[in-house]
Amino acid sequence: MPSPSPPVWGRESYLSELQQLEAAAQTILAPIEEGMSDYERLRVVHDGFIDWGDYGDMVGADAGNIRGALLNRRAVCEGFARAAVYLCQHAGLRCIYVTGQLRTSSVNDTWGNHAWNYVQLDGKWYLMDLTTDGGFPGICGYSAFLRGQNYFDENYRLTSTDGVDSNLGGVYAELPALASADYDAGTTGLQTSATASHTATSMHKPAKVLHGHRVRVGRFDIDGRW
């Protein structure tokens, strides 16, 4: 029996998918209102996507792109980070895609390949990691939301486990420097504590999350990606 023919990818299907992506973005960003600050709009991006997507489909063809993250609503870190760029562009925010490693255990000092974002607020750049903060429907943490260089130095590297820095020589001539300290959200209720900001276990099991507080949340897959 002959194998089925692969699907035809034409102009109509391409435009249809663009419309679906646009509709997903509009749904996620619906809470944005005129007059909101950049911080408030970024919170909509962060919280809205985490409520929208789930971490999974590690071997799927779309696991690392926005089709998986926004249409299938299941992706790995690459898909989460690319979706963040797409949503931030729609929200009028500056956001870039960054790759390297994440510390997966502070006890054993183990690291895994990972993707996350840098976002700009008030003229400074901060780290934002939707995979660490979410990946589970209805759960939203802030342990990796608007963090500065000090947090990065403890938990991230710009090189892969093979020692390669894939961020340079392509889209970026150089990455922007992160702010030295975490973003000060003032009276928004987002708080950092020494115990809540980075509580690492060997597998980073899901933690109970209280909105408005930084709690470590994430998932480490069998391929060493977050």
- Which portions of the chain are predicted below pLDDT 70? 1-9, 135-138, 187-226
Count CB-CB contacts under 10 A for residue 30: 10
Q: What is the distance between the alpha carbons of residues 219 and 226, in angstroms, rounded to a whole number?
A: 6
Q: What is the distance between the alpha carbons of residues 43 and 50, in angstroms, rounded to a whole number?
A: 11
**219, 206 Cβ separation under 8 angstroms:** yes
- Tens of pLDDT, residue by residue over 37-78, are 999 999 999 999 999 999 988 788 899 999 999 999 999 999
List beta partners, residue 202: none
Q: What is the pLDDT of residue 7?
A: 55
Q: What is the pLDDT of residue 212?
A: 35
Classify domain 18-197 at the CATH class level: alpha beta
Assign residue 97 a region (left: φ > 0; alpha: ψ between -120 and 50; beta: otherwise). beta
Q: What is the pLDDT of residue 215?
A: 34
Q: What is the pLDDT of residue 226?
A: 38
State the angle between helix axes of 38-52 and 11-28 in degrees (0 to 180), rounded to the nearest 10: 110
Residue 109 to residues 103, 113, 121, Cα–Cα distance (Å): 7, 14, 31
Q: What is the distance between the alpha carbons of residues 152 and 181, in angstroms, rounded to a whole number?
A: 10
pTM over 0.85: no
Q: What is the pLDDT of residue 172?
A: 80
Q: What is the distance between the alpha carbons of residues 95 and 125, in angstroms, rounded to a whole number?
A: 9
Q: What is the pLDDT of residue 13?
A: 81
Instruction: Give the 3-state secondary structure percentages of the chain, helix then strand then coil, rounded to 5.
Output: 30, 20, 50
Q: What is the pLDDT of residue 217?
A: 37
